[in-house]
Chain A
Amino acid sequence: GAVVSQHPSRVICKSGTSVKIECRSLDFQATTMFWYRQFPKQSLMLMATSNEGSKATYEQGVEKDKFLINHASLTLSTLTVTSAHPEDSSFYICSARRTGPLRVNTEAFFGQGTRLTVV
């Protein structure tokens, strides 16, 4: 089946530094990828929609200058947390939807997630 790979799985960084998270679709092309944030024991909150070759679409309340998204190819999207602070510590998950036959009933595949800890 389709696989979405996310890297790194865990990262610890110092406050004020930037961290880049990669999301790759391994066996299908994804013109659209999605970035989520998940707080402990809570559901996934959509942060932004990453569009290949164009600007990302951010959800209300998400700072686009803080969470930089680049979707340079059909298989790779990156999320950069700039000038990270302890409140940015969270579990970040990417996903990509694979288009099925006749473009219906698409499935979303998720990366393994990245645990970011800012100290």
Chain B
Amino acid sequence: TQLLEQSPQFLSIQEGENLTVYCNSSSVFSSLQWYRQEPGEGPVLLVTVVTGGEVKKLKRLTFQFGDARKDSSLHITAAQTGDTGLYLCAGGGKEGFQKLVFGTGTRLLVSP
């Protein structure tokens, strides 16, 4: 069974601070995705990484896929209150019929 452990589980910070969320597994994934979920809604895709060592930037968010494609990180610079939410990593195959395995989740609270 493929498992994705995220750390930390919960993070409470002040606006303007930086933070990093980690997603680790003992399994190799063909691709890894990061999502953010608001309460009462479905997850929304932030980014997909597919190449070991790949780094992608989305405004203040920087995503990295580990060289061995077993882990990933999400770094947020100068957090804003709008970044509050549940962050989920998910790994799986590249094909559309292949299921995604979700990480344990990181709940982020950014206070003014």
Contacts and interface: CB of A to CB of B under 8 A. Distances in A.
A49 B99 contact: yes
A26 to B, nearest CB: 14
Given A43-B103, A103-B96, A104-B94, 16 more contacts: A31-B96, A32-B96, A34-B99, A44-B102, A93-B42, A95-B42, A97-B96, A97-B98, A104-B50, A105-B48, A107-B33, A107-B48, A109-B45, A111-B42, A113-B41, A115-B40
Interface string B89-107: 0100011111111111101
A110 B44 contact: yes
Interface range on chain B: under 10, 10 to 19, 20 to 34, or 35 or more? Answer: 20 to 34
Interface of B: 31, 33, 35, 40-45, 48, 50, 86, 88, 90, 94-105, 107
Contacts of A98: 96
B43 A44 contact: yes
Interface range on chain A: under 10, 10 to 19, 20 to 34, or 35 or more? Answer: 20 to 34
Interface of A: 4, 6, 30-32, 34, 36, 41-46, 49, 51, 91, 93, 95, 97-99, 103-113, 115
Nearest to A49: B99
A110 B98 CA distance: 15
